């Protein structure tokens, strides 16, 4: 399978086939919003990719490439990285929707100053975004969507056999990813609209009161009212937000599955 030969015969060829199968799985795990986080060590990613690749090697009849250290071999590796990254990137779009909605809500509520370190990307993000991210993670795992996504990852070896990815993964697949990003932005706006609308009315009322009674301090009146009103609006709109997260999870799995349709 490679130009090097360590004298182990078929056992060595099977080992390099297993390592090659780990390429697509490893790229998908790195691009996914769970194992791709900064707080997940590289050892855990390698062990998980190796375990899934071992199952794929036994379930899916994938022939070994003749030589990985060649131009066709490098092109095959690039194709594996491409399809794996695409499957993980769809989930990144799904988990970005609550963060965008939280940015809109937090900016209107005045909670954008309360920031924490986001383990997803290693940067600071609003505390409200962390809350929504945890909620979506619980919904995603609670519905078993992670198992469906791993199933699609295994199914991708049948839809796009190794060595045939670059020729079959055309512009229509990238258009599918972009269209899902568009729906993600729409979902983020829908999640944020009820809270932002309530906060807009509160801030408008506070502005009218400050103009009517100049002695009132706008910041001492508007900021607490905005935070209290935003929290109440979040509580009232919690069922709608959870329903949108369930729909977002289903859309993410559906978009990942549409990438495998040739």
Round to whole Å and give the CA distance between 233 and 198: 7
Round to whole Å and give the CA distance between 171 and 169: 7
The total number of structural domains in the chain stands at 1
Tell me phi and psi for residue 220, to 5 degrees.
-70, -20
The answer to the question of residue 4 being in a domain is no
The answer to the question of residue 5 being in a domain is no
228: containing domain: 10-258
The answer to the question of residue 74 being in a domain is yes
pLDDT by residue, tens only, the chain of 262 residues: 444 455 555 677 777 788 888 888 888 888 888 776 767 777 888 888 888 888 888 777 776 666 666 777 788 888 888 888 888 888 888 888 888 888 888 777 766 655 555 555 555 666 777 788 888 888 888 888 888 998 888 888 888 887 777 766 777 777 888 888 888 888 888 888 888 888 888 878 877 777 776 666 666 666 777 778 888 888 888 888 888 888 888 888 888 888 887 6
Round to whole Å and give the CA distance between 96 and 148: 20
The answer to the question of residue 3 being in a domain is no
The answer to the question of residue 235 being in a domain is yes
Dihedral-angle region of residue 248 (phi above 0 means left; psi in -120 to 50 means alpha; beta otherwise): alpha
**Alpha carbon distances (Å) from 144 to 150, 171, 186, 221:** 10, 30, 24, 45
The answer to the question of residue 2 being in a domain is no
């Amino acid at each position: 399978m490679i130009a090097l030969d360590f004298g182990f015969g078929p056992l060595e060829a099977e080992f390099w086939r297993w390592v090659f199968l780990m390429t697509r799985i490893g790229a998908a795990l790195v691009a996914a919003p769970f194992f791709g986080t900064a707080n997940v060590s590289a050892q855990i990613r390698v062990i998980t990719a190796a375990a899934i690749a071992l199952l794929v090697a036994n379930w899916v009849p994938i022939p070994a490439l003749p030589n990985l250290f060649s131009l066709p071999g490098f092109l095959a590796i690039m194709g594996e990285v491409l399809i794996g990254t695409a499957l993980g990137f769809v989930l990144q779009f799904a988990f970005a929707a609550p963060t965008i909605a939280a940015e809109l809500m937090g900016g209107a509520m005045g909670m954008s100053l309360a920031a924490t370190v986001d383990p997803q990307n290693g940067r600071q993000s609003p505390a409200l975004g962390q809350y929504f991210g945890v909620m979506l993670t619980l919904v995603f795992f609670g519905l078993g969507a992670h198992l469906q996504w791993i199933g699609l990852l295994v199914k991708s070896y049948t839809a796009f056999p190794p060595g045939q990815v670059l020729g079959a993964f055309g512009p229509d697949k990238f258009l599918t990813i972009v269209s899902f990003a568009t729906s993600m932005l729409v979902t983020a706006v829908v999640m944020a609209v009820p809270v932002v609308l309530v906060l807009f009315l509160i801030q408008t009322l506070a502005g009218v009161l400050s103009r009517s009674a100049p002695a009132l301090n706008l910041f001492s009146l508007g900021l607490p009212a905005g935070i209290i009103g935003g929290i109440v609006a979040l509580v009232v709109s919690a069922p709608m937000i959870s329903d949108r997260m369930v729909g977002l999870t289903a859309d993410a799995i559906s978009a990942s599955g549409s990438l495998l349709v040739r």
